Amino acid sequence: KVNLLAGFLASSGANELSRRRRERLRRDAAATPSRPTDPEFAPDAASAFSDGFPILIASEGSLRALNDGLKAKNEPAVPMNRFRPNVVFDGVDAFDEDAYADVVVRGGGGGGG
């Protein structure tokens, strides 16, 4: 089996598959819509499928506040995944994340520090 795989990888058929795959990836990347990010926060960068920033931070507190407001207007609540955040904080006040200047992520153990 190894010899068959090595033979195929050395063949023009494998090179053709690889070439077609590279072309498809290049074509797909060119077709992906993107827009520049806000230069104040991410100069010389672009982002696809976002509202202008490459990372969206949200909090459970903000979602609760939003849903409380919707409930007061007899509107249905919305789930967090509706906003597609990359990072979700809990244990902070509503909309605190709007004022975060830096976020440090540490791995393992929990408990911060």
pLDDT < 50: residue spans in the chain: 1-2, 113
Assess contact for 40 and 52: CB atoms under 8 A: no
In the prediction, which pLDDT does 9 show?
A: 55
Q: What is the pLDDT of residue 109?
A: 60
Residue 34 pLDDT: 73
For 71-82, letters b (16+ CB in 10 Å) and e give eeeeeeeeeeee
Question: How far is it, in rounded angstroms, from Cα 8 to Cα 14?
Answer: 6
Written as six digits, the tokens of 37 are 């990010």
CA distances from 53 to 26, 47, 60, 81 (A): 23, 6, 20, 17
Q: Would you say how long the chain is, in residues?
A: 113
| Per-residue confidence (pLDDT) for residue 1, from 0 to 100 | 44
